[in-house]
Amino acid sequence: MDAAIACEGLEKTYKNGVKALEGVSFKVRPGEIFGLLGPNGAGKSTTVRILATLTRPDGGTASVAGCDVIGNPAGVRLRIGLVAQASGVDKWATGRENLTLQAHLMRVPAGEIPSRVKTLLQWVDLTGPADRIVKTYSGGMKRRLDLAMGLVNEPTVLFLDEPTTGLDPETRAALWRDLKRLRQERNLTVLLTTHYLEEADHLCDRLAIVDHGKVVVEGTPAELKARISGDTVTLEVGGESARAAALLKPLPGVLETIADGSRAIVRADRGASAMPLLITTLERAGITVSSSTLSRPTLDDVYLHHTGRRFQGEGEAGSEPAA
Amino acid sequence: MKAFLSDTWFILLRHLRTTVRIPIWIAITLIQPVIWLTIYGQLFRRVVEIPGFGSASYIQFLTPGVVIMTALFGSAWSGMGIIEDLTDGVMDRMLATPVHRAALMSARVLHAAITVAVQSVIILLFGMLLGARIAGGLPGFLAILSLGSLLGAGMSALSNGLALITRREETLIAVINFFGLPLTFLSTAFMASDLMPGWIRALARANPVNWAVVASRDAMLGQDWLGVAKAAAMLLGFMLVSVWISTQAFRAYRRAS
């Protein structure tokens, strides 16, 4: 198998006229954690719904685990696990009952079900509350049960649609640990959607930024950060920031300079090696640099570069610091 | 076919489990017939004295009516469960599995039929305690359960279809409130047919609720078994049409989502 997930030119317009996807294309290799990153309404969930056979695309093609989502949806369903944004567990059933029903529906051989359910409950650390109804579970417990539900058929591809939205930071960190453990233990392909830059940076082998129903850029987090040119050098220059900015602008490797109060902010190729030149230039002109900092581009810079907007303030991630 | 049956069975178990785990549901199921039979039984006790009513004991007359009314109202709310599943993401989670699509509908309809049967047993037993006699014996008893279950199954299918089309609790509540009582009062549940105005009698003839009420009363009295069988056949037809409508609604829902 070449790609675990391949989609090409996916289009979807909802009945109310909302254009959710306008040609989404990307490929996910077997065994990798692939992130779809974008603000709410960018088309992440619609993409997952198409790949999980819950909705049909209006145009384009997609295959998951070697099965075409339109030609062979039954084949796709047997090979995937879906952990949707709205949990999808039955709150009036116990954890064990939820898993057992899911196993039946996923065509797990009846004889294997009890032992598989038991193993999964252990794996997500829900053995104790296994026979309590889910209504009594905490948010984190419910999410771990969701994850177990998605794994009950030992899927080839697992979809996680905003798995940590609405979770407190501690629970989120615990879920990240689970996902990393999952990747170590099973050779599973994961498609993860998120609107948390930090999460994408932390978990994904590769990611695609989705905006207005299109993939605007795709690559590893490191690649994406390296691809947007330059580092940010911030120089503390007292009252001379405007003159400093003007002086530095023509230097080789400098892409952009901004005077920001007492600081001159310089975006430069290979900031670390440019720094000595920047400082000596200023010193020679009689401007004292009292401090300097160098920062690597973050995914936020990547996002800004490709969409023309800051990521922060989008969606409900208001309190989330940009990575 | 094997997948359909086994999926229906496991999902039916889920619904039955949910029902017995909601204590308020059990309480209402037990208390409601007591209220209907005692209060209505007392309130309208002397109705039988009206010339031409044709029945000597009102509780005898009322018990099958309450069985069918409970079947109607109990199953009409079936769609609320679907809306809850849509909201909680349970429907999506199930649709992303290879589950037989029709099983998702048939399990709910079966669940409604079983629930109605259990409620009917309770009402009939309580009615007997208050003095109703089932002259039709065990066959009559079972016939009433079947008639109620068929009506309940059909009504739940309609309710499910409506839930899938509107996807809103408010709409479902409004529709049930709008149709529930008229369907009940355009039947002989509370009033003998001979005493009804002509136009109500005409409407009642087209009302599945009335088919079930009339046939249940006959089964109770152990009379007109042919009419009972005919009503059962008509209710079966009503149920099949309703189930067909609900599967179309389900198909439309899946296309639109």
Q: Which two tokens stand for residue A211?
A: 């905006």
**What is chain B's alpha carbon radius of gyration, rounded to the nearest angstrom?**
19
Lookup result for tokens 């959710």: A20
List the beta bridge partners of residue A189: A157
Structure confidence by residue, pLDDT tens digits, B217-245: 999 999 999 999 999 999 999 999 999 99
| Spatial distance between the Cα atoms of B257 and B251, rounded to a whole number of angstroms | 10
Q: What's this model's pTM, rounded to 2 decimal places?
A: 0.83
For chain B positions 10-29, those within 8 Å of chain A (CB to CB) are 10-11, 13-14, 17-18, 21-22
Say if A139 is an interface residue toward chain B (CB within 8 Å).
Answer: no
Q: Do A106 and B10 touch (CB under 8 A)?
A: no
- Coil, strand or helix at A264: strand
Candidates B12, B93, B101: best to mutate against A (most CBs of A within 10 A) is: B93
Residue A145 forms part of a structural domain: yes
Of A45, A152, A49, the C-alpha closest to A109 is: A152
Of B152, B124, B151, the C-alpha closest to B232 is: B151
Instruction: Please indicate, yes or no, whether residues A96 and A191 belong to a single structural domain of this protein.
Output: yes
Q: How close B196 comes to chain A (CA, Å)?
A: 45
pLDDT of residue A311: 62
Lookup result for tokens 């498609």: A191
List the beta bridge partners of residue A21: A12
Identify the domain boundary among A222, A248, A281.
A222
Q: Do B10 and A101 touch (CB under 8 A)?
A: yes
| Spatial distance between the Cα atoms of B92 and A44, rounded to a whole number of angstroms | 16
Q: How many domains does chain A have?
A: 2
Q: Do A78 and B7 touch (CB under 8 A)?
A: no
Say if A54 is an interface residue toward chain B (CB within 8 Å).
Answer: yes
**What is chain A's alpha carbon radius of gyration, rounded to the nearest angstrom?**
24
For residue A267, give its domain range.
229-296
Instruction: Please indicate, yes or no, whether residues A120 and A250 belong to a single structural domain of this protein.
Output: no
Instruction: Please indicate, yes or no, whether residues A179 and A194 belong to a single structural domain of this protein.
Output: yes
Instruction: Please indicate, yes or no, whether residues A218 and A256 belong to a single structural domain of this protein.
Output: no
Q: Do A53 and B96 touch (CB under 8 A)?
A: yes
User: Which residue in chain A is spatially nearest to B93 when comparing CA positions?
Assistant: A88
Query: Among partner residues B7, B22, B257, which is closest to A105 by beta-carbon distance?
Result: B7
- Coil, strand or helix at A151: helix
CATH code of the domain in which A52 resides: 3.40.50.300
Structure confidence by residue, pLDDT tens digits, B14-41: 999 999 998 787 788 778 888 888 888 8
Q: ipTM of the predicted structure?
A: 0.88
Chain B residues whose CB is inside 8 A of the A77 CB are 96-98
Structure confidence by residue, pLDDT tens digits, B40-86: 888 887 888 888 777 778 888 899 999 999 999 889 989 999 999 99
Instruction: Please indicate, yes or no, whether residues A18 and A47 belong to a single structural domain of this protein.
Output: yes
Residue A316 forms part of a structural domain: no
Residue A319 forms part of a structural domain: no
Measured over the CA atoms of residue B118, residue B157, residue A81 and residue A209, the dihedral's sign is negative
**Greatest CA separation for chain A:** 82
Which has more confidence, B131 or A48?
A48
| Spatial distance between the Cα atoms of B125 and B132, rounded to a whole number of angstroms | 9
Identify the domain boundary among A188, A222, A256.
A222
Chain A residues whose CB is inside 8 A of the B93 CB are 82, 84, 88-89, 102, 149
Residue A50 forms part of a structural domain: yes
Instruction: Please indicate, yes or no, whether residues A120 and A170 belong to a single structural domain of this protein.
Output: yes
Query: Among partner residues B6, B18, B88, which is closest to A86 by beta-carbon distance?
Result: B88
Chain A residues whose CB is inside 8 A of the B101 CB are none
Instruction: Please indicate, yes or no, whether residues A112 and A240 belong to a single structural domain of this protein.
Output: no
Instruction: Please indicate, yes or no, whether residues A80 and A154 belong to a single structural domain of this protein.
Output: yes
Residue A24 forms part of a structural domain: yes
Say if A87 is an interface residue toward chain B (CB within 8 Å).
Answer: yes
User: Which residue in chain A is spatially nearest to B23 when comparing CA positions?
Assistant: A92
All residues at 6 or more sequence positions from A147 whose CB lies less than 8 Å from its CB, including other chains = A83, A124, A163, A175, A178, A182
Instruction: Please indicate, yes or no, whether residues A216 and A236 belong to a single structural domain of this protein.
Output: no
Q: Are the C-beta atoms of residues B30 and B122 closer than 8 Å to each other?
A: yes
**b vs e for B163-172, b when ≥16 Cβ sit within 10 Å of the residue's Cβ?**
bbbbbeeeeb
Say if B251 is an interface residue toward chain A (CB within 8 Å).
Answer: no
Which phi and psi angles does A229 have, rounded to 5°? Answer: -70, 135
Q: How close A53 comes to chain B (CA, Å)?
A: 6
Q: Which two tokens stand for residue A19?
A: 């254009």
Residue A313 forms part of a structural domain: no
Q: Do A86 and B97 touch (CB under 8 A)?
A: no
All residues at 6 or more sequence positions from A73 whose CB lies less than 8 Å from its CB, including other chains = A53, A67
- Coil, strand or helix at B245: helix
Q: Which two tokens stand for residue A229?
A: 């040119």
Give the type of residue at A281. Answer: T
Which phi and psi angles does B151 have, rounded to 5°? Answer: -65, -45
Q: Which two tokens stand for residue A59?
A: 């145009």
Of A164, A167, A155, A195, the C-alpha closest to A44 is: A195
| Spatial distance between the Cα atoms of B209 and B215, rounded to a whole number of angstroms | 10
Structure confidence by residue, pLDDT tens digits, B174-209: 998 888 888 888 888 888 888 888 888 888 889 999
Q: Do A105 and B97 touch (CB under 8 A)?
A: yes
Instruction: Please indicate, yes or no, whether residues A241 and A261 belong to a single structural domain of this protein.
Output: yes
Whole-angstrom CA distances from A214 to A157, A189, B12 are 22, 22, 42
β-strand pairing of A59-64 with A157-161: unpaired
Which phi and psi angles does A189 have, rounded to 5°? Answer: -90, 130
Fill in the DSSP letter of residue A133: B
| Spatial distance between the Cα atoms of B80 and B235, rounded to a whole number of angstroms | 23
Identify the domain boundary among A179, A206, A222.
A222
| Spatial distance between the Cα atoms of A48 and A263, rounded to a whole number of angstroms | 44
Instruction: Please indicate, yes or no, whether residues A58 and A153 belong to a single structural domain of this protein.
Output: yes
Chain B residues whose CB is inside 8 A of the A104 CB are 6-7, 10
The string of DSSP letters for B49-112 reads GSTT---S-HHHHHHHHHHHHHHHHHHHTHHHHHHHHHHHTHHHHHHTTT--HHHHHHHHHHHH
CATH code of the domain in which A260 resides: 3.30.70.980
Mean residue pLDDT across chain A: 87
**What strands, in cross-sheet order, belong to the sheet with A67-68?**
A19-28, A5-13, A59-64, A67-68
Instruction: Please indicate, yes or no, whether residues A24 and A122 belong to a single structural domain of this protein.
Output: yes
Say if A105 is an interface residue toward chain B (CB within 8 Å).
Answer: yes
Q: How close B245 comes to chain A (CA, Å)?
A: 22
Residue A135 forms part of a structural domain: yes
Candidates A55, A101, A105, A117: best to mutate against B (most CBs of B within 10 A) is: A105
Query: Among partner residues A15, A56, A77, which is closest to B96 by beta-carbon distance?
Result: A77
pLDDT of residue A323: 33
Chain A residues whose CB is inside 8 A of the B88 CB are 86-91
Q: Do B10 and A92 touch (CB under 8 A)?
A: no
Residue A303 forms part of a structural domain: no
Local mean pLDDT, 10-residue blocks, chain A (323 residues): 87 88 94 89 91 94 95 95 90 96 96 96 93 93 92 94 84 85 85 88 91 90 79 85 88 81 82 87 90 81 70 41 34
pLDDT of residue A314: 39
